[in-house]
Amino acid sequence: MKIRNVAIIAHVDHGKTTLVDELLKQSGTFRENESHDDRVMDSNDIEKERGITILAKTTGVKYKDYKINIVDTPGHADFGGEVERIMHMVDGVILLVDAREGTMPQTRFVLKKALEAKLKPIVVINKVDRENVRISEVIDDVLELFIDLGATDEQIDFPIIYASGLNGTSSYEEDLSTQKHTMEPIFETIINTIPEPKGNENEPLQFQPALLDYNDYVGRIGIGTITRGKIKVGQNVSCVRLDGSIKQFRVQKLFGFMGIKRLEIEEASCGEIIGISGLPDISVGETICEAGKEEALPILKIEEPTLQMTFGVNTSPFAGKEGDLLTARKIEERLMKELESDVSLKVEQNDAESWIVSGRGELHLSILIENMRREGFELQVSKPEVIIKEIDGIKCEPYEEVMIEAPTDTIGSVIESLASRNGQMVNMKAFENNTKLEYIVPSRGLIGFVNEFLILTKGYGIINHTFKEYGPLTAGNIGERKLGVLVSMENGKSTAYGLGALEDRGIMFIEPGVEVYEGMIVGENNRDNDLAVNVTKSKNLTNTRSASKDHTVVLKRPRQLTLESALDYINTDELVEVTPKGFRLRKKTLNTEKRKKEDSRK
C-alpha cells in the first residue's frame, strides 16, 4: 500500500479538527454502525469543552489504494513546539485558512515551520459557507505571507481547495455553487501533490520519536516516522541518546494508527508513522537504529519554557476539605508523571513542599492545573512569571507578537493600555467598523492583559499572540494589577448584609452563603490599596420595628473568574488555591496584622 504523510496546520479555531472528522467519515474509516463524537480527534475533556486541540493526534485513513497518515496539530502558541517537531514526521502540509479571518499570527508561525522544513503545501480555504467571507482577499493574504516568509517558487505554486469542514463539502472552484458533499478534491490533491516518503526499506533501520505518549501498561511510547529500514516486535535495537551514548533494548510493542484507534502491529517499514515502546526513558530527538549499525539523525530542537510558576501544598485553613490528593509526595508524583509525556515542561524542587514548574505559556500551565484539579488534587499556585535569560551578558526577556481586532470606537483605550505595558505598534489597519493592530509586547506585559482587553472592547475584541524572541529586559514593573483587593478579616459564612455594606467599595467575587477565611480575597477594591473587610457581618437584631425593616438587600452579580483569569489577576504577594470543587484567591500571608506590618515595611 502506498503511503502519504501530511500534517494539518492552522490558526486556533480555523477548523482543523472538524475537517479531519470529515476526512475520516468520508473515507469510510468508521463502520456504518460505529458511534463517534463530533471532533473525534479532540479526545480529552478539556479539549472537548474548550474546542481546542492541546495534543497532536495521529490518524490514518485509507483512500483507494493509499494509506494517508494525517497529523492534527495544536493551533495554540503554547503548543507550538509540537508543531515544529511534527514537521519532521511528514512530507507535506495542508494549510487551513478561515475564509473570513484570513491569515493570523499562528498561521504565520506554523507556515514558517513548514516552509523551513521544505514541505510541500496545499492551501484549503475553509468555512466558505459563512457570511461576509473575503475569499479573494484571503488568497492574496496567503500569497503575501508565503512571499514574506521566503517560500521557494515551487512552494508558492500551491494548489487551492475551497471547503466547508462543518458541512463536509469541497470543490476546486471559488464559486460556492460548485461545492459538493465530498472530500474527494482534498484526497486527490494530497495524492497528486504530496511526495511519497523517502527512504529505503532494505537499508539499516532509522527511527526518530518526535512526540511522546504515556500508557500505564507499557510506559513511554515514542511516536515518529521510520525514515529507513524495517522494525519488528521483539527485535533488539540500539538507541542513540541525546548525549551520544548508546543504549540497547528490545522492542516490546509497536503501534499503528487507523482512524481514531491505536492498533498493535507486528512490524512496520519506512515511511510509516508508528509508536514504539520498550525503552522506559525514550526521549524526543533520539534515534532508534539497528543494533551494530548506529547512525544518529540530527537532534530535534525542543523549545525552551518562557513562563514559570510555583506549585505548592495547599496551606489554607480549608486544606483537605475538598480533595483527597494533597500531600507533597502525591503532587510530586503527578508532576513527574506529566514529564513522561510533555517534553516542553520542566519541574524543579523549590523547597520541601513546593516546586517551580516552567512551561510554554499560561495556557500550557493552566491546563496542567485544571487536569490535576479534576483528578482530585488540592494545591496552591503563584502568579506566572516570565523566565529571564542572560544572553551575551545582557538580561533578556521573552517578547510576543500580538494581533488584535476590535471595534474602532474602543481601539483608543486598547492602544493606551498596551503603551503602559511597553508594547510597540508595528501596524494598524482599519476596515468597516473594526481596526486591526499588530504589536510587539514583552510577555510580562501580556500577563493579565486579556481580562482587561475584554472589558475595554466590551467582549467584541479578538486577541492572538505568539512567542517571537528573547529581547533586552525593559524597565518597570509591568504586568502587575493596578487596583487593590478586598480581603476577608474574619472566618465564617458571607452574608447578604455584610456584602451589601461593601458594594460601594468595589466589585465582589463571592455571593452570600460562601465559606470564607481570614486572608481570602473576596473582591476588588476601587482604589489601589488593599482593604481588610468583614463579609460575615450580620444585622443586629432588636425588638424595635424600623421603617426600613421590609427592605430586602438586592446585590449586584459577583464577577465570575475562570482559572486562567484568576492566575492573570493575582499579584506576586497572592496565590490561587485550587481544589476539585473550584478555586479561591488568597494572600500569601493570611494574618491581617502581620500583612499590615509587611506592607508598611515596603
Q: Which three cell numbers stand for residue 206?
A: 532509522
User: What is the layout of strands, in order, in the sheet containing 2-10?
Assistant: 57-63, 66-72, 2-10, 92-98, 120-126, 160-164, 169-171
Paired residues of 121 in beta bridges? 93
* Phi and psi angles of residue 356, each rounded to the nearest 5 degrees, phi first: -95, 115
Domain limit, last residue, from 290, 320, 353: 290
Do 398 and 279 lie in one domain? The reply is no
β-pairing, 92-98 vs 120-126, is parallel
Do 176 and 217 lie in one domain? The reply is no
Do 462 and 561 lie in one domain? The reply is no
CATH assignment of the domain containing 133: 3.40.50.300
Do 96 and 28 lie in one domain? The reply is yes
Helix (H, G, I), strand (E, B) or coil at 578: strand
Residue partners of 209: CB distance under 8 A and separation at least 6:
222, 223, 224, 276, 282, 283, 284, 285, 286, 288
37, 39, 41, 43 alpha-carbon torsion, rounded to 10°: -60
Does residue 39 lie within any of the structural domains?
yes
| Cα gap 571→564, rounded to integer Å | 14
Does residue 418 lie within any of the structural domains?
yes
Do 55 and 160 lie in one domain? The reply is yes
Do 468 and 490 lie in one domain? The reply is no
Do 39 and 65 lie in one domain? The reply is yes
Does residue 495 lie within any of the structural domains?
yes
Do 452 and 503 lie in one domain? The reply is no
Overall domain count for the chain:
4
Do 490 and 593 lie in one domain? The reply is yes
Does residue 586 lie within any of the structural domains?
yes
pLDDT at site 80? 65
Do 139 and 73 lie in one domain? The reply is yes
Q: Which domain holds residue 160?
A: 2-193
At residue 268's C-alpha, the angle toward residues 265 and 273, to 5°, is 90
CATH assignment of the domain containing 393: 3.30.70.240
CATH assignment of the domain containing 533: 2.40.50.250
Does residue 362 lie within any of the structural domains?
no
Does residue 335 lie within any of the structural domains?
no
Tallying the residues shown for the chain, one arrives at: 602
| Cα gap 413→409, rounded to integer Å | 9
Does residue 89 lie within any of the structural domains?
yes
Beta strands in 30-154 (DSSP E): 57-63, 66-72, 92-98, 120-126
| Cα gap 228→222, rounded to integer Å | 16
| pLDDT tens, residue by residue, 401-455 | 888 888 999 999 999 999 988 999 999 988 778 898 999 999 888 887 877 888 8
Specify whether the CB–CB gap between 118 and 198 falls below 8 A.
no
Residue partners of 139: CB distance under 8 A and separation at least 6:
123, 125, 160
pLDDT at site 546? 60
Cα-only R_g, the chain: 27
Domain limit, last residue, from 265, 290, 315: 290
Tell me, rounded to whole angstroms, the distance of Cα 529 from its chain centroid.
Answer: 34
Do 151 and 183 lie in one domain? The reply is yes
End-to-end Cα distance, the chain: 71
Residues in the chain with pLDDT values less than 50: 30-43, 550
CATH assignment of the domain containing 275: 2.40.30.10
| pLDDT tens, residue by residue, 282-292 | 888 899 999 88
Does residue 218 lie within any of the structural domains?
yes
Identify residue 402 by its one-letter amino acid code: V
| Cα gap 210→355, rounded to integer Å | 27
| pLDDT tens, residue by residue, 325-381 | 889 999 999 999 888 878 888 999 999 999 999 988 888 898 899 999 999 999 999
